[in-house]
Amino acid sequence: MLGSGLLQGLAVTAKNLAGSFHDPARYVTTEYPEQRTKLPENYRNFPFLVHDDPADPNGTLRCVACQICEKECPPQCIYIVMERDEKGKALRRPKVFDLDISVCISCQICVEVCPFDAIKMDQEYEIATRNRFGGLLLHREDLSKSNAYYHQIHPTEAAGVDAALAEQKAKQAAAKAAKAAPAPKAAATTATPATAATAQDSAISPAPAAPPPASAPDTPANPAPANPPPDA
């Protein structure tokens, strides 16, 4: 029958409308913004930076400004400058970390290539602004969020990351302790200088020559008889 699909759809709508008056679970419309639907854990929007201490967010960022995410980003929407001291030595933290979300495609490649678990995907989607340039360019202070917030939006993933980081720190501490431990003393006693010199002389000096064998006394070819014969 022509239009049967349309009638079936209208019947489902009318059924849900009538059921919503006595069963709110059947009312599929969410009264946003007064009501908000809980997002699934795997939902992702734009990246953010993780720090471990809310009292010092910039000093405890996990990011070391290695710029791997900046180089791997397909749309090139990340810009990083490493912070340095007065002598020009790298401090292993970002002085500038900018993210242009008007260009970001939420591909999560920056998260996958980060070796320090410093950048993760956020779930915040209310980011509309009237300024399409400065308003959509997020700086380090805007991107920095606590590890507790990371546990709130991605609890399973955050628990696994914390366990891996704790195991890595334990291995580093064990290796450092083993390196700092004193070496065991040798069992053999150390030779004194005099003993060493005597042993060296004995090794260098040649062995004394063996004495020549004792030779038998010389005997005449024609020995004289012991008793000469009487005269004739």
Quick check: is 214 in a domain?
no
Q: What is the CATH number of the domain that holds 101?
A: 3.30.70.3270
- The C-alpha atoms of residue 41 and residue 156 are separated, in whole angstroms, by 8
Range of the domain at 98: 44-170
Quick check: is 147 in a domain?
yes
**Sequence letter at residue 62:** R
What is the residue whose two structure tokens read 């919503």? 20
- The C-alpha atoms of residue 30 and residue 148 are separated, in whole angstroms, by 28
Quick check: is 224 in a domain?
no
- The C-alpha atoms of residue 46 and residue 70 are separated, in whole angstroms, by 15
Quick check: is 217 in a domain?
no
How high is the pLDDT of residue 25? 72
Q: What is the DSSP letter of 61?
A: B
pTM of the model: 0.67
Quick check: is 112 in a domain?
yes
The total domain count for the chain is 1
How high is the pLDDT of residue 207? 52
How high is the pLDDT of residue 186? 55
Quick check: is 132 in a domain?
yes
pLDDT tens profile 90-147: 999 999 999 999 999 999 999 999 999 999 999 999 888 888 888 899 999 999 999 9
Quick check: is 36 in a domain?
no
Q: Which residues of the chain have pLDDT under 50?
A: 188-189, 191, 232
Tokens of residue 54, six digits = 């809310």
How high is the pLDDT of residue 40? 92
Burial class of residue 185, CB neighbours in 10 A (0-12, 13-18, 19+): exposed
Tokens of residue 222, six digits = 């024609």
Quick check: is 133 in a domain?
yes
